[in-house]
Structure 1
């Protein structure tokens, strides 16, 4: 059963204050569970060596995805970071996303295989945009707590987004990228989301009901969500469905 704690009343509001205040305690609890359960996470399909790029959330770097990268390597995937430093929006990926596209294209050329993209929060929005623009390079997209299906004002971090990226919510360029990310993808897509997320409204972290995309609900904080045992298992299960 999924625990529902202090959930948003609808998809057009930010998470309530109680969910926001509980972020750090829940994140710490999740880290403790990871330590306790780490050795039990192998009860999932084995990897097939396919290339995977992990995209970090706002202001985070590849270090934030170290646990998932190590886990997927242990299962047998070629899991790599995005190698673009901290995620500061267009400051990291380029005004037109050209640096991210080049990274995906380089791994595709190196391996001869389409690349699976796994993005956390803002990284998931970027992963969806990359898949729209170059579906010939992308095998699949998995987003984790990524608010791609609604406006930034339905989060508790939109002001931090503006400060860190230098962009303004409501600007035409920002709106255009969000609209692009929200469109159904031309490749398989899975959204992992939490109704009790304290930073972003979980209801805008998935495609609408009736979509062909998968949606997997977990009970989790936003902080360190990519380290939660149930999230790691969910990612491995999704990847395993497409194993050769």
Structure 2
């Protein structure tokens, strides 16, 4: 599930040595059944558009978007079109369906990142949905000088393979043991760039605890943003889109935490407090 570059403890510091055990309980069957609400989330984009269009404008920098497990670039088209409307230069991963880190997959993603960085002369933002977020984090660990920031959507970087309802699909499609691969890398360690994890406590595929970025002394520019969404709907959820737009719009080198309550009580209700019990 990870890049060959970020071996275990590659991004950790002495302050991060006492780590909590990885979450290993998947979402309930009830939450999994609720994934069908993703169709409603997609439908909510139209009435939400007038508000979404008022999100902070982009500065034209490139944004690479990684799809989730068994998905392809078609699933990220709505999000990429939205980012383009805000003034960014978004693009997909251009490798067809994401069936795991098969031979050459991560190498091609790395080459695409390098080519884009060299062609534009600017750092690239990385967005990853589910497994795609794991790719984004690992690329940022390997090439931090080329990455402006990382945003993940329901990505299982802080849980064991048992913390998702999709690990068997992963092993079937990739032909790899997710447990054996994960042992070689420190997936919970944050990349040394601004890193945002967008997640939902009602995610029916990935346990929300597996998407929580723990505080890190080595990188204080990490955060968790909770939204009300399904796992399948995270990439088309209006509140997730607004959070993505807000994070991308930050000027390089001027990162600040997501203003969950700064814009009024309603904003605070749409984005629950991640630190609550």
Fold agreement, TM-score > 0.5:
yes
2:182 corresponds to 1:174? yes
Does structure 1 retain, via aligned residues, the 8 Å contact 2:27–2:204?
Answer: yes
| Change over 3 Å in CA distance of 1:237–1:162 after alignment to 2 | same
Three-state SS of the structure 2 residue aligned to 1:196 is coil
Runs of 4+ residues over 4 Å off in structure 1:
none
Count of matched residue pairs: 229
The match for 2:55 is: 44
Deviations 1:176-232 (A, max 9, x none): 24x2x3212111100100011000001111211567211100011001311000011
Deviations 1:19-39 (A, max 9, x none): 011111x11111111132224
Three-state SS of the structure 2 residue aligned to 1:185 is coil
2:24 corresponds to 1:12? yes
Does structure 2 retain, via aligned residues, the 8 Å contact 1:84–1:92?
Answer: no
CA RMSD, Structure 1 to Structure 2 (Å): 1.7
Deviations 1:144-172 (A, max 9, x none): 1101111121111110110011111321x
| Change over 3 Å in CA distance of 1:209–1:109 after alignment to 2 | closer
| Change over 3 Å in CA distance of 1:92–1:206 after alignment to 2 | farther
The match for 2:168 is: 159
2:228 corresponds to 1:216? no
Does structure 2 retain, via aligned residues, the 8 Å contact 1:167–1:174?
Answer: no
The match for 2:43 is: 32
The match for 1:73 is: 84
Gaps in structure 1 of 5+ consecutive residues: 1-9
- What does residue range 92-111 of structure 1 map to in structure 2 within 5 Å? 93-94=104-105, 97-111=106-120
* Counterparts of 1:93 and 1:175, CA distance in 2: 20
Does structure 1 retain, via aligned residues, the 8 Å contact 2:116–2:124?
Answer: yes
2:151 corresponds to 1:130? no
The match for 2:248 is: 239
2:203 corresponds to 1:197? yes
Three-state SS of the structure 2 residue aligned to 1:116 is strand
Does structure 1 retain, via aligned residues, the 8 Å contact 2:24–2:161?
Answer: no
Gaps in structure 2 of 5+ consecutive residues: 1-21, 255-277
The match for 1:55 is: 66
Q: 2:33 aligns with which of 13, 17, 21?
A: 21
* Counterparts of 1:138 and 1:122, CA distance in 2: 18
Q: Per-residue deviation at 1:137?
A: 1.4
The match for 1:64 is: 75
TM score, norm. by length of structure 1: 0.89
